[in-house]
Amino acid sequence: MADVDFTKVNGDVDQYNAAGTLKGDFDTMVFTLGFKGKYTFKLSALDIAPHAGIRYSYYDIGSDNIKYGKEELKNKSLDAKVLYLPVGVAFSKDVKVDNWSIRSVCDLELIAATGDTDVTSKVVASGVELSAKSDVVDKFSYSGKLGVNFENGNFGLGLGYRYLGSKNVNNHNVYLTARYTF
């Protein structure tokens, strides 16, 4: 399995407060390319599918400017190249009920990251350059997903929960999907 993704965001922000107006603009671009392989062992009680992959991500955070009255902050552009190495195992079970196919899924994954996992950003204000080091991604993260999918012909529904955690991230997602294939 392979996938490619490209995202570009341009934005203008105005903030109004008691001291005046803060105006900013920013540009960001993300490109990712990933490959994932898995093999499914079909057992009588459930299917077990170990999987592993590799993903390259390029983050380009363009320079942005923030104006506050006559003052201007200029963030210098930076980029990061990160290689992700996910490994995991998925457990699933398919059940047929009338015309419906019901699949329950539990997926556990460990993700290592290498490359530019932290960057140094630079800001120029009133001719003075300041720098700060920050994490782009953690070097190691883990995730778990529980879900159930319902399919009837060309129509499908899904409901689930996903957790992503690391040293600096504690992310919970609940999702509902609907799909019609034609």
Q: What is the pLDDT of residues 5-34, one digit of tens each?
A: 999 988 787 777 776 777 777 788 999 999
Q: What is the DSSP string of 70-119?
A: TEEEEEPPEEEEEEEEEEEEEEEEEEEETTEEEEEEEEEEEEEEEESSEE
CA pseudo-torsion sign 77, 83, 89, 92: positive
- Using a 10 angstrom Cβ sphere, with 0-12 exposed, 13-18 middle and 19 or more buried, the burial of residue 7 is exposed
Q: What is the pLDDT of residues 85-98, one digit of tens each?
A: 999 999 999 999 99
pLDDT band, residue 119 (cuts 50/70/90): confident
Q: What is the pLDDT of residues 49-88, one digit of tens each?
A: 999 999 999 998 877 777 777 777 777 778 899 999 999 9
pTM greater than the 0.75 cutoff: yes
Average pLDDT over residues 169-174: 95
Average pLDDT over residues 108-124: 90
pLDDT band, residue 172 (cuts 50/70/90): very high
Q: Which residues contact 51 (CB under 8 A, 6 or more apart)?
A: 36, 37, 38, 86, 87, 88, 89, 90, 109
Give strand pairing partners of 20: 17
Residue 121 or 106, more confident: 106
Amino acid 19: pLDDT: 67
Q: What is the pLDDT of residues 127-157, one digit of tens each?
A: 788 888 888 889 999 999 999 999 999 999 9
Of 12-16, 40-44, 110-114, 156-160, which range is least confident? 12-16
Q: Which segments within the chain are labelled E, that is strand?
A: 2-17, 20-38, 41-42, 47-61, 64-68, 71-75, 78-97, 100-115, 118-125, 128-135, 140-152, 155-166, 170-180
